Amino acid sequence: PPPPPPPPPPAAAATAVEAQAGGAVADAAGVATGAAHEDSHVTTELRIGLQLWLGKVATFQQVDVVHQMYTWFQHASAEEVGKAMKDLLKADPSSGWSTCAIEDENCECPSGKIRYGHVEKRWLDKKIGEPKFWCSLGNFGGQDVAVGMLKQCQCWQELDTEIAINALSKIAEASHRSDSFGKYFWSALTSPFKWASLALSRRAQQAATLPDAVAEQPIAGELWQRLHQLERWMSTNATHEQLALVAIVYKWLENTGQRAKIGVALSKAAASHIARNLPLCEDGKPVDAKRCPGFGQNLCRAGCSRKPPLESVREQVGGRIPRSDLCKPGVVLEPLWSCDRATARVPSQDHAHAQPQHVLDKSVEMMCENEQMRDQMAVYLDCEFLQPYLKWTTDESEWLEEADVTYV
């Protein structure tokens, strides 16, 4: 049976809802405005569908894309985001294609615009005159665009609020009818913290049940914290308009699978809004968002650094600087090794580290001969780390015997 409706809002809130009901409400994709307030049951289904997808299906990369939307909403209204989303969807011709059938199945496509093929190969387009169509090689002229691979049919429907909400409503309804996880959610709408902990626990441990005490356990790891933050926001503070916009992104991700492309598009679109509210660094100046990833969405230490960009630092001329003279006042970067052998800090020929130095030099020999690549070979010491550098290296050799290296 369908879940019971949520309790009516307080009198003051009800008055505000009634006042809004006759006004213009922005469509989730900024496509149109409506004249009625959305039914609260639809909003509830949006909350459930999105959180079930995040908690049970979405990859961390997809979670990161959705978190970009959350960050965007901290700096812009749903109406502003919706207008920008409309332009983004128009700019992506693949946003409206969704799978309607696997090969040798029936495809239901109200628009009649179908394509047949494989995502890693190519597609054959066809316009049909009726909403149902048999997805088969024969109906596309027998032309096999992906030999030996299972092909599919996709239907084109312009991605809008209704399509996205319907997709998430099906997830919510199916989970309510058949999944104890979904049933738990319906009974826990008033306890979003418990819900978020349950979703995270299920993803991390694949546990069938969750004691109430787990809700109080901390969640380690930035990605898990980000997921936890999203699910708490969706179950409590997110408005219907914001949820509908996130639903658009969910369907966009599901349709295209182009997580990186969508993430970059959202980051660029949000950059101008985020730039209006950039935090200040300790020196009272705003963060330089260009020096951080995500077009300002992901702030970083480098954003508050006033050091010159690495590409503007020129190689040292005139021989190696003695170790005692490294990082004098006002110096932020010191060259350690480059294609210029006169300034590179290398061990002497009779040192045991001369052999790995020789291997390094030979491995980049051709790149050092290339004028366009030689500058990219330079390695610098950040002077903030001068003391540990001097501690672990010696006057005889500035190679390390052993080190754990993290590449980001």
Mean pLDDT of 97-113: 88
134 neighbors 107 (Cβ within 8 angstroms)? yes
Report which of residues 68 and 198 the model is more confident about: 68
pLDDT in tens, 226-253: 888 888 898 888 998 999 999 999 888 8
pLDDT recorded at residue 316: 52
pLDDT band at 185 (very low <50, low <70, confident <90, very high): very low
E strand or H helix that includes residue 147: none
Answer yes or no: is pLDDT of 75 > 80.
yes
Paired with 105 in beta bridges are 135
CA dist 233 and 47 (Å) reads 10
CA separation (Å) from 352 to 82, 210, 358, 361, 391? Answer: 63, 57, 11, 15, 19
Answer yes or no: is pLDDT of 337 > 70.
yes
CA dist 68 and 55 (Å) reads 17
Paired with 113 in beta bridges are 127
Q: What is the maximal distance between C-alpha atoms in the chain? A: 86
Answer yes or no: is pLDDT of 24 > 50.
no
Report which of residues 333 and 316 the model is more confident about: 333
pLDDT recorded at residue 22: 32
pLDDT recorded at residue 10: 41
pLDDT in tens, 243-285: 999 999 988 888 888 888 888 899 889 888 887 777 788 888 8
Specify burial of residue 292 (Cβ count, 10 A radius: 0-12, 13-18, 19+).
middle
Helix (H, G, I), strand (E, B) or coil at 225: helix
381 neighbors 334 (Cβ within 8 angstroms)? yes
CA dist 123 and 207 (Å) reads 41
- Most confidently predicted of 49-53, 58-62, 126-130, 385-389: 385-389
Mean pLDDT of 355-373: 92
pLDDT recorded at residue 242: 92
What are the strands, taking DSSP E only, across 168-298?
A: none
E strand or H helix that includes residue 341: none
CA dist 64 and 103 (Å) reads 33
Answer yes or no: is pLDDT of 193 > 60.
no
